[in-house]
Chain A
């Protein structure tokens, strides 16, 4: 028997037992916790597998009813007609055109912004401009869709009278504005990573700042710049709400940007919004289109990762 400081009797034997029991529990926790955490971590893997499994399985169902060749070479998409035709090319064309327009806006503007922010801007201006560009990146896409539909399209109509109320040009431009911050900030990161000694070397040889930019900084940051462009591209391909709102749902196979065209993403929204009965060919076409979209973006993302890892010039 021992006594505690308050003078009470204390059973040492029991104290030791309690201590050992709690240790046992602790030891068990040490084994259980990592296992639970591993299960949690594997949910991200399950998600990927789930997405691929669903897309593959339901696409297979679709390709039982529509031949894969017809799907990828057909220029007519008429899912609701009595003589239904499922060619994905109009959707691919819509995505290609909207993405091209977006890149025509975002590529020059984004890269020039990156150059300005990384090479020319005084600290004070950089500190104002960068957060503002981040705000631009944080605005929900639905807001851009509203902007394209109710503001940009009417303005463009003044310039191009034959523009339709829903057209691919206006969402393309607005999508370009949306991805400017992405190209600007990722490219700026890459340019800032080029060491100053290289710039100073060129300046000392008498180069102007512009020459330093084009002959030293851009070549040195090329892998990062390309990666940022590819990521922006993949973002534009997957963008949904802007094109759904402002480009309508006409499945045109054309190069005329004043017309309404449908992208892959907008088609998915149209079909699911229309409550296509499960099991119908239209319903399965959804998955085939989503599969195509998924493969496109996945390839681009993997490519971007590959470039920024393998091609990066390692500075000392």
Chain B
């Protein structure tokens, strides 16, 4: 091997180049980071510019109408609320129950690892496939029709993996010393879980549940597959009624905006309402986390 020496002056220029390239790269990376944020800004600005002037009390309290001036989203808001009334309890019971089983009861072994792997795979299945599951099982086989209950059960299954993982993390964060103290007092396992572990983990579980609910509120594809009609339907009054939700309404308005230009404004206004709803949910989750969560 021959050793190749370079002169001090050349070393100086090389070093200078390396430092300059490093500086340039730094700004390039900063630019890339800002790219996503700038697009976010443009997106929000565009939606507010299109929709904000259309947003008023009438828009929130009117029923759907083909006349853009009179159209409102009361039906979609009620539909979203009814849907959440199904999704929230179902996903909470299934999610927290599964998490308790996996964290507290399941022996580390085959069954537990199968369930765990399965959950992470479920999380990766596209939402539209859940829509097909819902359409086939709830709407057609059980003949529920495209009602709130069918949509809610589909959405509950969709967000179940997220809820399970969040609840598992919440349960795992509870230190063993708490439950050991409970056992030491003579409590049984279920008593310990019910009276000690669950209450301690509740804020984190709730935070996770709210975040996964906000995922369900923004989902469109599964409900479109289940077959929410684009037609005018009466306001939903129970979980057995036909319904529409905000994202689906936005979808139909956007599609039809090629024919009636004002529909684009209606869609933008509905998006503002949807984003506001998501913001409120996320803030609630953050408040719950900051206020009630203890670090052990």
Q: Report A's interface with B, CB cutoff 8 A.
A: 26-27, 29-30, 33-34, 36-38, 40-45, 47-48, 50-51, 54-55, 58, 108-109, 112-113, 115-117, 120-121, 129, 132-133, 135-136, 138-147, 149-151, 165, 177, 180-181, 184, 208-211, 213, 231, 234, 237-241, 244-245, 265, 268-269, 272-273, 275, 278, 286-287, 290, 293-294, 297-298, 300-302, 305
State whether B29 touches A113 (Cβ < 8 A): yes
**Residues in B neighbouring A30, C-beta threshold 8 A:** 188-190
**Residues in B neighbouring A55, C-beta threshold 8 A:** 129, 132
State whether B101 touches A37 (Cβ < 8 A): yes
Residue of B nearest to A268 (CB): B128
Q: Report B's interface with A, CB cutoff 8 A.
A: 18-19, 21-22, 25-26, 28-33, 35-37, 39-40, 42-43, 46-47, 50, 93-94, 97-98, 100-102, 105-106, 114-115, 117-122, 124-133, 135-137, 140, 157, 160-161, 164, 188-191, 214, 217-221, 224-227, 247, 250-251, 254-255, 257-258, 264, 267-268, 271, 274-275, 278, 282
State whether B225 touches A50 (Cβ < 8 A): no
Given the interface contacts A112-B32, A135-B40, does A29 sit within 8 Å of B221 by beta carbon? no
State whether A146 touches B224 (Cβ < 8 A): no
Cα–Cα distance between A135 and B40 once the two chains are bound (Å): 8
Q: Could you list 15 further interchain pairs (A-B, Cβ under 8 angstroms) beyond the known A44-B115, A140-B218, A140-B220?
A: A26-B191, A40-B101, A112-B29, A113-B35, A136-B39, A140-B278, A143-B218, A144-B43, A147-B47, A149-B254, A151-B43, A210-B25, A269-B225, A287-B132, A301-B124
Cα–Cα distance between A155 and B125 once the two chains are bound (Å): 33
**Residues in B neighbouring A38, C-beta threshold 8 A:** 101, 105
State whether A50 touches B137 (Cβ < 8 A): yes
**Residues in A neighbouring B105, C-beta threshold 8 A:** 34, 37-38
State whether B37 touches A133 (Cβ < 8 A): yes
What's the minimum C-beta distance from B75 to chain A, rounded to whole angstroms?
A: 17
**Residues in A neighbouring B140, C-beta threshold 8 A:** 278
Cα–Cα distance between A208 and B15 once the two chains are bound (Å): 9
Cα–Cα distance between A139 and B188 once the two chains are bound (Å): 44
